[in-house]
């Protein structure tokens, strides 16, 4: 900011202050609410992992399955402040606000002032950014890293020192330790270092960029290899995620390898169990990843048309205005946060404005090359796997650079007293901003109630858990997990009729679930129907020979039947 004129520095400071105030207001509204104070799914796993690290287990004992940088950062916060999610949220807010300053610098380098100020203002008001800055998830830091990467790339291309390319590579490497797909962008972004007529200097810049990428990845690769994972520069979930997004039953969103096994610990265990069962031997993390990758590629080779249609379906999901949820629903959070309920910028508005910016800045393609390459690379490297809306978040800073162009064009038209053009532009911007808010997106009540039920069950409040699962099933009658969990709880408190009915329903929804079959067998055992119990328990073990509860209950069935 030092090289900015004083007036522009003051304007940017005002934008950054507003960004901080909005995020702090949102934090104050949700900090004691479920999913923010009591964590679920991935957030819960990051908290567990960070606590173990902060307690001294910095090396760990297994190759990384999930990207490691975020839990290590959280562990440092925990070690310095005590186990405080609030401290993490406040750090994420501070880093996010600083990243907007980096985005402003990137936009000004590529397009000139005042594009940076507008891009930062749009980022300050972007609803999904505000939402993720107050979650125990890696997305906030990933967005900040993307802002910094654009700024460093713009500086390097503007004639920065050669070592700036080393820094750009290092930022990309760090981003890959937050979101592994970023590693696939390295060849594309390396093209930015090439210049016609500078062969030797271009190769030197590419080499520095590549060295920068390797700097943060090398220790991770060495650690994974030392712990028996094979060559893994980041994690071993890449092949698993590729299969999740590319097989005959895939729809572009997350589906667990085994039905009902979306708890983080089981997301690691199930792919390994299935791969090792098929291989007939223990496998390294790299081998498990290759197993699932090769399975997905084999399907794509057999069904190329289906594979192509699936990629198009995922591209539509990527471009959708809807914020497809993971564990925490964006639209539900708006109902408990007055700050988030404001008419903030949404993905639909930013994408429409970015499209207009693409047209208006069509003669600035060379200057905008970091944005084009990053946007294309991020979209492709996300679509090829599977999608939640949060996976596209690191691409939004580049879109904000483009979305700033119509605002600047509008201001210039107004200054030139081209009133008709300025009025038309203002109307178009207002309509683009309002369109996503008029789309009628509603909270996914079933998802919210199911996760509230899980939180209540984990806290030991089984009556509340049943109420939430019932609401989840009312909202989404095909919710397999809600039916299974509700049936299991009913059976455990002695309501065997209701429990059996719900577990039968769950097994009908997901016939391939070993847990549904095992729980149904346990309920039949409790009801005294030994034949039905044996049938369901044997089905569970056919699906998963290692299912311990099913095996124990089958032994009880055999004992009651008088079998040896």
What's the CA gap between 148 and 396, in Å, rounded?
13
Q: DSSP string covering 4-30, please?
A: S-HHHHHHHHHHHHHHHHHHHHHHHHH
Whole-number Cα distances in Å, 184 to 32, 137, 234, 242, 511: 38, 22, 12, 13, 37
Whole-number Cα distances in Å, 198 to 160, 368, 425: 15, 21, 42
**DSSP code for 365:** T
Q: Is the dihedral of CA 426, 429, 435, 438 positive or negative?
A: negative
Split at pLDDT 50, 70, 90, the class of 255 is confident
Is the CB of residue 246 less than 8 Å from the CB of residue 300? yes
Mean pLDDT for 422-451 is 94
Q: Which residues contact 273 (CB under 8 A, 6 or more apart)?
A: 544, 546
pLDDT at 551: 94
Q: Is the dihedral of CA 518, 519, 525, 527 positive or negative?
A: negative
Mean pLDDT for 519-540 is 94
Split at pLDDT 50, 70, 90, the class of 198 is confident
Residue-range domain boundaries for the chain: 6-231+322-438, 445-561
First to last CA, the chain: 80
Encoded tokens for 140: 């906030």
What's the CA gap between 439 and 205, in Å, rounded?
46
228 against 467, higher pLDDT: 467
Q: What is the pTM of this model?
A: 0.94
Split at pLDDT 50, 70, 90, the class of 160 is low
pLDDT at 37: 94
What's the CA gap between 489 and 472, in Å, rounded?
15
What's the CA gap between 4 and 6, in Å, rounded?
6
pLDDT at 410: 95
- CB burial of residue 460 (10 Å; 0-12, 13-18, 19+): exposed
Q: What are phi and psi of 346, to 5 degrees?
A: -120, 170
Is the CB of residue 155 less than 8 Å from the CB of residue 165? no
**DSSP code for 97:** H
Q: Is the dihedral of CA 467, 472, 475, 480 positive or negative?
A: negative
What's the CA gap between 232 and 227, in Å, rounded?
11
Domain 445-561 has CATH 1.10.1040.50: no
User: For 3-7, 152-156, 256-260, 458-462, which range has the lowest pLDDT when averaged over its residues?
Assistant: 3-7
What's the CA gap between 398 and 477, in Å, rounded?
40
User: For 101-110, 171-180, 358-367, 393-402, which range has the lowest pLDDT when averaged over its residues?
Assistant: 358-367
Query: Does 116 score more than 80 pLDDT?
Result: yes
**Secondary-structure breakdown of the chain: helix, strand, coil percentages, each rounded to the nearest 5:** 75, 0, 25
Q: Which residues pair with 38 in a beta bridge?
A: 34
Split at pLDDT 50, 70, 90, the class of 88 is very high
What's the CA gap between 89 and 74, in Å, rounded?
10
Closest residue by Cα to residue 38 from 139, 136, 138: 136
pLDDT at 122: 98
284 against 6, higher pLDDT: 284
SS3 459: coil
pLDDT digits (tens, 9 = 90+) for 25-44: 999 999 999 999 999 989 99
Split at pLDDT 50, 70, 90, the class of 264 is confident
Mean pLDDT for 445-450 is 94
What's the CA gap between 527 and 402, in Å, rounded?
64
What is the CB neighbour count within 10 angstroms for residue 121?
Answer: 24
Q: Which residues contact 150 (CB under 8 A, 6 or more apart)?
A: 102, 103, 106, 370, 371, 374, 397, 398, 401
Plot region of 112 (φ>0 → left; ψ -120 to 50 → alpha; else → beta)? left
Q: What are phi and psi of 111, to 5 degrees?
A: -125, -15
- CB burial of residue 564 (10 Å; 0-12, 13-18, 19+): exposed
Cα 138 vs. chain centroid, distance in angstroms?
Answer: 8
The single residue listed with the structure tokens 């030092």 is: 2
Q: Which residues contact 5 (CB under 8 A, 6 or more apart)?
A: none
Mean pLDDT for 311-322 is 96
Mean pLDDT for 38-58 is 94
pLDDT at 218: 96
Is the CB of residue 216 less than 8 Å from the CB of residue 166? no
Encoded tokens for 109: 């380098």
Split at pLDDT 50, 70, 90, the class of 564 is low
Mean pLDDT for 284-309 is 95
Encoded tokens for 239: 């092949």
Q: Is the dihedral of CA 310, 313, 319, 320 positive or negative?
A: negative
Instruction: Please give the mean pLDDT across all residues of the chain.
Output: 94
Query: Does 215 score more than 80 pLDDT?
Result: yes
Closest residue by Cα to residue 481 from 261, 178, 225, 240: 261
What's the CA gap between 187 and 396, in Å, rounded?
21
Give the CB-side neighbour count of residue 139, counting CA atoms within 13 A: 22
- CB burial of residue 248 (10 Å; 0-12, 13-18, 19+): exposed
What's the CA gap between 474 and 452, in Å, rounded?
14
Q: Which residues contact 3 (CB under 8 A, 6 or more apart)?
A: none
User: Rg (Cα) of the chain, in Å, rounded?
Assistant: 26
Query: Does 514 score more than 80 pLDDT?
Result: yes
Helices (H) and strands (E) in the chain, counts: 26, 0
Whole-number Cα distances in Å, 431 to 197, 412, 424: 46, 20, 11
């Amino acid at each position: 900011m030092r090289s900015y004129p004083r007036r522009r520095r003051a304007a940017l400071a005002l934008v950054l202050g507003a960004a901080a105030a909005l995020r702090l207001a949102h934090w104050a509204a949700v900090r004691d609410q479920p999913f923010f104070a009591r964590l679920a799914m991935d957030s819960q796993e990051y908290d567990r992992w960070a606590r173990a690290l902060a307690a001294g287990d910095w090396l760990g004992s297994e190759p990384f399955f999930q990207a490691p940088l975020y839990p290590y950062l959280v562990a440092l916060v925990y070690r310095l402040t005590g186990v405080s999610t609030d401290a993490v949220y406040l750090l994420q807010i501070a880093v996010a606000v600083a990243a907007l300053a980096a985005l402003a610098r990137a936009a000004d380098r590529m397009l000139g002032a005042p594009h940076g100020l507008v891009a930062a203002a749009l980022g300050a008001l972007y609803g999904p950014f505000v939402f993720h800055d107050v979650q125990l998830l890696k997305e906030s830091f990933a967005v900040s890293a993307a802002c910094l990467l654009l700024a460093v790339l713009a500086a390097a291309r503007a004639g920065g020192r050669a070592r700036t390319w080393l820094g750009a590579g290092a930022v990309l490497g760090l981003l890959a330790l937050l979101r592994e797909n970023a590693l696939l962008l390295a060849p594309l972004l390396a093209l930015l270092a090439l210049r016609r007529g500078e062969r030797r200097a271009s190769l030197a810049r590419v080499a520095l960029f590549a060295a920068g990428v390797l700097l943060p990845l090398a220790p991770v690769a060495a650690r994974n290899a030392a712990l028996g994972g094979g060559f893994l520069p980041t994690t071993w979930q890449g092949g698993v995620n590729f299969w999740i997004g590319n097989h005959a039953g895939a729809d572009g969103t997350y589906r667990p390898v085994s039905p009902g096994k979306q708890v983080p610990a089981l997301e690691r265990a199930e792919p390994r169990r299935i791969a090792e069962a098929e291989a007939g031997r223990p496998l390294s993390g790299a081998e498990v990843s290759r197993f699932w990758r090769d399975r997905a590629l084999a399907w794509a080779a057999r069904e190329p048309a289906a594979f192509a249609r699936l990629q198009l379906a995922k591209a539509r999901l990527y471009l959708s205005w809807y914020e497809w949820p993971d564990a925490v629903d964006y639209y539900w959070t708006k109902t408990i946060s007055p700050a988030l309920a404001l008419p903030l910028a949404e993905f639909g508005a930013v994408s429409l404005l970015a499209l207009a910016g693409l047209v208006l800045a069509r003669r600035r393609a060379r200057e905008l090359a970091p944005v084009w390459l990053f946007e294309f690379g991020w979209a492709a490297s996300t679509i090829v796997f599977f999608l939640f809306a949060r996976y596209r978040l690191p691409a939004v800073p580049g879109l904000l650079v483009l979305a700033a162009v119509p605002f600047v064009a509008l201001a210039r038209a107004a200054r030139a007293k081209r009133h008709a053009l300025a009025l038309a532009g203002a109307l178009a911007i207002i309509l683009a901003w309002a369109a996503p808010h008029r789309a009628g997106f509603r909270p996914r009540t079933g998802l919210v109630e199911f996760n509230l039920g899980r939180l209540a069950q984990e806290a030991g409040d089984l009556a509340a858990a049943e109420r939430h699962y019932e609401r989840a099933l009312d909202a989404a009658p095909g919710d397999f997990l809600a039916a299974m969990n509700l049936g299991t709880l009913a059976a455990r408190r002695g309501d065997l009729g209701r429990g059996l009915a719900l577990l039968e329903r769950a097994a009908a929804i997901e016939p391939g679930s070993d847990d549904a079959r095992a729980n149904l067998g346990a309920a039949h055992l409790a009801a005294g129907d030994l034949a039905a119990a044996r049938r369901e328990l044997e089905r569970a073990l056919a699906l998963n020979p290692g299912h311990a509860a099913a095996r124990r209950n089958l032994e009880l069935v055999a004992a009651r039947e008088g079998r040896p």
